[in-house]
């Protein structure tokens, strides 16, 4: 889904991406990193693809996730990341930064 963000939202997303959810930060997963990166670089919110992919992996008994879920944690979009991003998209930037810092 396409999203339009203003400069303040862009700066806040970049901040949580750099310091919490992206590039080897404390809550970095490939999914968190790419989720925010796609919004910053392409204006695309692709959370549904991550969520549906995770659901599909969990339901497929032949998928390695079924027997070894810990190996696929990197592909899971965290609820904390979604909450932080949603607050920013709702222009609740201070609340998002405060929440993200509390993690």
Examine residue 57 and state whether it is found in any structural domain, yes or no.
yes
Report the range of poorest mean pLDDT among 3-17, 45-59, 84-98.
Answer: 45-59
Examine residue 1 and state whether it is found in any structural domain, yes or no.
no
How large is the angle between the packed helices 30-42 and 7-16, nearest 10 degrees?
Answer: 160
What domain range is 91 assigned to?
7-101
Examine residue 2 and state whether it is found in any structural domain, yes or no.
no
Examine residue 61 and state whether it is found in any structural domain, yes or no.
yes
Instruction: Please tell me the distance from the alpha carbon of residue 6 to that of residue 17, in angstroms, as a whole number.
Output: 16
Examine residue 13 and state whether it is found in any structural domain, yes or no.
yes
* pLDDT for res 56: 65
Dump pLDDT digits (tens) for 17-44: 999 998 888 888 888 999 999 999 999 9
- Give percent of the chain with pLDDT exceeding 70: 80
Q: Is the pTM above the cut of 0.85? A: no
Partner residues linked to 2 by β-bridges = 44
The backbone torsions φ and ψ at residue 34, rounded to the nearest 5 degrees and listed phi first, read: -70, -30
At which residue do the structure tokens 């796609």 appear? Answer: 38
Partner residues linked to 44 by β-bridges = 2
Handedness of CA 20, 25, 26, 28 (dihedral sign): positive
Examine residue 83 and state whether it is found in any structural domain, yes or no.
yes
Q: How many domains does the chain have?
A: 1
């Amino acid at each position: 889904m396409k999203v339009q963000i203003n400069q303040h939202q862009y700066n806040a997303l970049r901040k949580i991406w750099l310091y919490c959810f992206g590039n080897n930060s404390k809550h970095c997963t490939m999914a968190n990193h790419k989720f925010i990166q796609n919004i910053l670089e392409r204006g695309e919110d692709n959370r549904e693809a991550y969520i549906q992919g995770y659901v599909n992996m969990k339901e497929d008994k032949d998928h390695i996730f079924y027997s070894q879920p810990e190996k696929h944690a990197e592909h899971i979009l965290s609820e904390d990341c979604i909450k932080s991003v949603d607050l920013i998209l709702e222009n609740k930037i201070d609340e998002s930064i405060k929440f993200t810092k509390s993690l």
